[in-house]
């Protein structure tokens, strides 16, 4: 499989590009994180669940930093200037890249997800 060229600007706001080899290890880490996120979302909010959420979130950030080859300073800026939803969006885009989804399709999926999120936020039935 060929290397993936990643533009960091739309993902983390850094005007730089990087190249990543889509290794089995990267895919397995992404799948493990996805499984952890699903588990955490179904937990009931007790102390153990909160610890699990914190650990999973740190793992997500570490994965993003490793995959995008961000320096500690770049990652610190990303963490300070973005929301948890953005972290999830970036992780989702990375997984799609690893699966070989075309950049245009990733962008379409991201836009669709944003529209769904806005609709849920406006829904008075919540």
Reduced to 3 DSSP states, what percent helix, strand and coil does the chain have, rounded to the nearest 5? Answer: 70, 5, 20
Q: Where do the structural domains in the chain lie, given as residue ranges?
A: 24-122
Question: What spatial distance separates the first Cα and last Cα of the chain, rounded to whole Å?
Answer: 44
Kindly state the DSSP code that residue 16 receives in the 8-state scheme: -
Q: What is the pLDDT along the chain (126 residues), one digit of tens a residue?
A: 689 999 999 899 999 999 999 899 999 998 888 888 887 777 677 788 888 888 988 999 999 999 999 999 999 999 999 998 899 889 989 999 998 888 889 888 888 888 887 787 776 665
CA distance 121 to 111: 15
Strand 4-7 relative to strand 17-20: parallel, antiparallel, unpaired? antiparallel
Instruction: Quote the pTM value.
Output: 0.79
């Amino acid at each position: 499989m060929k290397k993936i060229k990643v533009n960091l600007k739309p993902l983390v706001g850094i005007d730089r590009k990087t190249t990543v080899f889509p290794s089995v290890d990267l895919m397995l880490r992404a799948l493990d994180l996805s499984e952890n996120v699903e588990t955490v979302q179904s937990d009931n909010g007790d102390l153990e669940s909160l610890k699990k959420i914190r650990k999973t979130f740190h793992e997500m950030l570490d994965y993003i930093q490793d995959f995008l080859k961000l320096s500690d300073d770049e990652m610190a800026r990303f963490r300070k200037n973005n929301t948890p939803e953005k972290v999830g969006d970036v992780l989702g885009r990375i997984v799609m890249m690893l699966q070989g989804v075309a950049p245009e399709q990733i962008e379409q999926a991201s836009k669709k997800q944003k529209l769904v999120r806005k609709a849920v936020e406006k829904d008075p039935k919540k």
